[in-house]
């Protein structure tokens, strides 16, 4: 299968490791994955809080408190904008390969399948996660679209990650600069530079492709499974 990316430079061609300006994504459906640390009401083993923020409204749509170093082995509680609790549960405690996200009513929202057999058979397998609906039908994949074998062998990790539905591009992982008060001149430029970036998900088509709790679950898995440490 050949994935056709847009020919002209735009928000979807941006590699994960490079920044996008706020203006570049202002007209798109964008999630920002923001990390924070709360001082009060922390659960045992608390490390940080991840939030999904809608870039348009700046509303927090989902959040999760990390309490372990390897959350892929745990059942996670993700809180949505209404205070409802979504769960993401691995299929087993040892070497899990599938995680199921359920909504506050207990209905399955999505399955994330790591496709271990494909990776063992082909170390250059370019799919990180297959995403399936409640009927176990695949509706998108998170992939590294590069076809250059040396890049995959000698690179420190994929430079690009995209979401595809069949051969259709539906989303892109990006880095978003953190919002700081704009100041003119060199000082302003340096301040923006040292502010750092946050992970983001750009959805193609003007609407979010994944619900915020599901998107947060995907990013938790992606961050953990691609961590070389």
Pairwise pLDDT comparison (157 vs 141), residue with the higher score: 141
pLDDT tens digits, 186-200: 655 565 565 689 999
Q: Is 114 among the domain residues?
A: yes
pLDDT tens digits, 158-185: 456 899 998 899 999 999 998 766 666 6
Write down the pTM of the prediction.
Answer: 0.80
Taking alpha carbons only, the member of 165, 220, 212, 204 closest to residue 27 is 204
Average confidence score pLDDT of the chain: 81
Per-residue pLDDT band at 136 (split at 50, 70, 90)? very high
Q: What are phi and psi of 105, to 5 degrees?
A: -95, 0
205-53-88-127 Cα dihedral, nearest 10 degrees: 50
- pLDDT, position 144: 82
Q: Is 30 exposed, middle or buried (0-12, 13-18, 19+ CB in 10 A)?
A: buried
Q: Is 3 among the domain residues?
A: no
- pLDDT, position 213: 98
Taking the alpha carbons at both ends of the chain, their separation in whole angstroms is 32
Pairwise pLDDT comparison (79 vs 178), residue with the higher score: 79
Q: What are phi and psi of 221, to 5 degrees?
A: -65, -45
Q: Is 2 among the domain residues?
A: no
Per-residue pLDDT band at 78 (split at 50, 70, 90)? very high
Query: Range with the lowest mean pLDDT among 92-96, 150-154, 214-218?
Result: 150-154
Long-range pairs for 71-74: beta carbons < 8 A, 24 or more residues apart: 71/220, 71/224, 72/96, 72/99, 72/220, 72/221, 72/224, 72/225
The answer on pLDDT for 104 being more than 60 is: yes
Q: Is 51 among the domain residues?
A: yes
The total number of structural domains in the chain stands at 1
- pLDDT, position 196: 86
Q: State how far the Cα of 78 lies from the Cα of 73, in Å rounded to an integer.
A: 15
The answer on pLDDT for 52 being more than 50 is: yes
Q: Is 4 among the domain residues?
A: no
Q: State how far the Cα of 209 lies from the Cα of 229, in Å rounded to an integer.
A: 30
Per-residue pLDDT band at 122 (split at 50, 70, 90)? very low
Q: State how far the Cα of 127 lies from the Cα of 98, in Å rounded to an integer.
A: 14
Q: Is 107 among the domain residues?
A: yes
DSSP secondary structure code for residue 202 in this structure: E
Q: Is 89 among the domain residues?
A: yes
The answer on pLDDT for 137 being more than 80 is: yes
CA 75 from centre of chain: 18
Query: Range with the lowest mean pLDDT among 121-130, 186-195, 205-214?
Result: 186-195
Is residue 127 within 8 Å of 163, Cβ to Cβ?
no
Q: Is 79 among the domain residues?
A: yes
Residue 212 CB partners (closer than 8 Å, separation 6+): 31, 52, 54, 61, 62, 80, 81
The answer on pLDDT for 16 being more than 50 is: no
In terms of residue numbers, what domain contains 92?
11-225
């Amino acid at each position: 299968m050949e994935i056709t990316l847009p020919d002209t430079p735009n928000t979807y061609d941006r590699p994960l490791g490079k920044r996008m300006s706020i203006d570049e994504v202002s007209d798109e459906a964008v999630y920002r994955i923001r990390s924070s640390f709360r001082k009060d009401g922390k659960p045992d083993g608390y490390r940080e809080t991840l939030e999904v923020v809608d870039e348009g409204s700046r509303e927090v749509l989902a959040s999760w408190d990390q309490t372990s170093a390897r959350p892929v082995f745990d059942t996670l509680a993700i809180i949505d904008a209404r205070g409802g609790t979504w769960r993401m549960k691995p299929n087993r405690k040892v070497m899990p390969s599938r995680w199921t996200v359920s909504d506050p009513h207990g209905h399955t929202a999505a399955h994330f399948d790591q496709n271990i057999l494909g990776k063992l058979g082909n170390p250059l397998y370019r799919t990180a996660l297959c995403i399936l609906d409640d009927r176990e039908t695949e509706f998108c994949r998170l992939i590294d679209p590069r076809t250059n074998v040396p890049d995959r062998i000698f690179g420190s990790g994929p430079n690009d990650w995209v979401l595809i539905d069949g051969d259709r591009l539906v989303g892109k992982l990006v880095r978003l600069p953190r919002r700081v008060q704009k100041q003119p001149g060199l000082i302003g430029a340096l301040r923006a530079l040292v502010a750092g970036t946050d992970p983001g998900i750009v959805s193609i088509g003007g609407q979010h492709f994944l619900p915020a709790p599901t998107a947060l679950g995907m990013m938790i898995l992606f961050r953990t499974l691609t961590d070389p440490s």
